[in-house]
Structure 1
């Protein structure tokens, strides 16, 4: 996935000559109204997920239906670690250090997420990064049709990889079963 993303965005960089600031294509929202109050999370996945932008992502589930984010797709961006996730479901958040990013008109949010992933943002400093470093950053932005095409292509590729991983897991379990029952 990373190799294909790299090749696609290298082409964008080579082809597109116009730069736009992140601030002009993304809006951010502070998550304070979406913070979970009760930190005794459930493991019941039928409830509302509680998210963090780091590697854990879904840290549990809550029954708190009030104050959930349900405005559509967004990027949750951890202001300290610069980890980010693309989210297209309702949720609540654990930390106020998260920025909720949405796209402005004629900008494909999934494309911007993939572009930022391509840039491989990281930091060794424990400080807030979004407003000071990410918003003023300039990127090359193709027209909306090209953005959508690339975003759809990468989404389909992600789906295919997930399916193949599930098949691999099932085949591994089947192999373990057969090996365990081979010499009975």
Structure 2
């Protein structure tokens, strides 16, 4: 978060031209991707059912129709303003989600990181995307700079994930050693 903040603060001071989010992102209503059967499975070989809040994957469904499979997107919860970057096929539970995709000359992962940097949140139970978010003006560097920022942040994400996996393995090793200490 600190590095993201520093990178985007630097962009904000360097870029003098601002562009509205609606000029760089398309949005789609999720109605045709809504799950009909809410009896979810835990079988992760099935299609995940998503929400943009902290739960993210609610479960999995056997439904093989109305699946979003157009590639990368950002799912945006219109009420809570939570966002998630998605690069796999899915269905959604709520029609309050907006599916955001990129227009030309914008890196979608960059936009996800920038929206994360903004720290969007709300206590009001209303729809925010069309009335507020898509009208926001943001600094947009050229595509190469966007890609550099994404590569930097993705590298850090991978490092954090690897370190977390090592941490989990060390915890397992600790448990094993403790269990066998007094045998």
TM-score clears 0.5: yes
**Structure 1 match to 2:175:** 176
The unaligned stretches of length 5 or more in structure 2 are none
Distance 1:65 1:152 in 2: 34
Q: CA deviation at 1:149?
A: 1.1
Structure 1 segments, 4+ long, off by >6 Å, are none
Distance 2:100 2:69 in 1: 13
- Scaled by the length of structure 1, what TM-score is found? 0.98
**Structure 2 match to 1:160:** 159
How many pairs are equivalent? 183
- Greater mean alpha carbon deviation, residues 28-37 or residues 171-180: 171-180
Distance 2:33 2:155 in 1: 30
2:84 is the counterpart of 1:85: yes
Distance 1:132 1:166 in 2: 41
The unaligned stretches of length 5 or more in structure 1 are none
**Structure 2 match to 1:40:** 39
Distance 1:7 1:183 in 2: 50
Deviations 1:117-140 (A, max 9, x none): 001000010100000110110100
Deviations 1:70-129 (A, max 9, x none): 000000000000000000000000000000000100000000100010010000101000
Q: What is the RMSD computed on CA atoms of the aligned residues?
A: 0.7
Distance 1:147 1:9 in 2: 10
